[in-house]
A = this chain, B = another copy of it.
Amino acid sequence: MKTTKRSNPVKLSKVNAGKNSQRPHSLTQKEYLQLYYFMRLTREFEESILKLYRQGKIVGGAYTGNGNEATAVGSAFALGENDYLFPMHRDMGAHLVKGQSLRNLMLQHMGRGNSLSKGRDGTGHYADPSLKIYGNISHLGAMIPMAVGVALASTLRKEKAVVLTYIGDGGSNVGDVHESLAMASVMKLPLILIIENNQFAYSTPVAKQKAMEKYSDRAAGYGIPGVTIDGTDLELVYKTCKTAVERARAGEGPTVIESVTMRMHGHSAHDGAEYVPKTLLAEWKKKDPVQRIEKLLQDKKILTSKIKEEYEKKIFAELEDAVQFAIDSPYPPAEDAAVGVYAV
């Protein structure tokens, strides 16, 4: 049973500007509002996931990308409909921008039979070919070689479609990432890798994950561009990714973008993260990506309190609908477990 796709803001018919996004770097008023909508939607979605987790309604663990919303939303916003997305566990915003519905995401988190994975896996671990979303597996870095393969297929088929994927500051050290960049750079594949440096890998501070200054310093080791940006600055994330997307689409090869953010919550919902200095959190709180874009758009007089209320109404209504829909949806029948190891 397929459920309604893309969660659209009022009146906004389409986020992506056509098949192979040619949207200019400067954002229109409408686009600013779309971005704001998805930032709020992401934040509120993850808040409700946490609430559901505390109520014991989530199967397994629950991860959020609080602090990472601008990176997830801004990067996916630079993609066109035909582009491929391989999001990580902090990138719920990317799922949403690429058009995934709240219902489908709720069903995934609650392991329901009508979820996209049919309850075989949870959270963002699903594939939705209709939206060209291919979720991660738990093994950090393991999806990136697959993303390289999709970028290769795109090139061989002359699709002009690009592939956007992500890895964390910890996961960046996994060998899969290196082999992927080696292959993608030599083949000049349309791959964009965003390194989400959110200061921690579970309990491990980034200082124990790297000896160089920036993760983007690794790009030169593959002869590809690498930049480091403030991952809480939505416009900057979008524009940086847009440039990388156009470069990839033009056949000029991969780009590595280090997006510096902060993991504002624990590693997962069960983690109190006592190991994170309160002062550090306080510092970063000032750069809360959702508040930043809200303030910007209010200053620009783009976001009126009327629109804001409208969006909030819509978001909370949609969330309520999705939660209820998921709760009302049954788990898969037990015997389903035995079915589908092989494709026919």
Contact = CB atoms under 8 A, between A and B. Distances in A.
Q: Interface on chain A toward B: helix, strand, loop, or mixed SS?
A: helix
A174 B253 CA distance: 21
Contacts of A221: 212, 217-221
Contacts of A183: 173
A322 to B, nearest CB: 39
The copy count of this chain in the complex is 2
A179 interface: yes
Q: Identify which of A175, A211, A219, A223 gathers the most chain B CB atoms within 10 Å of its CB.
A: A211
A131 interface: no
Interface residues of A, number: 27
Contacts of A224: 211
A51 interface: no
A325 interface: no
Contact of A211 (B208, B211, B223): B223
B223 A217 contact: yes
A313 interface: no
A248 to B, nearest CB: 14
A175 B178 CA distance: 6
A292 B252 CA distance: 42
10 contacts: A173-B178, A173-B182, A174-B175, A175-B175, A178-B178, A178-B179, A186-B210, A212-B221, A212-B223, A217-B221
Given A175-B175, A175-B179, A177-B178, 12 more contacts: A173-B179, A182-B209, A182-B210, A185-B210, A185-B211, A185-B212, A211-B253, A212-B221, A212-B222, A213-B223, A217-B220, A217-B221
Closest 5 CB pairs of A and B: A175-B175, A212-B223, A178-B178, A218-B221, A211-B223
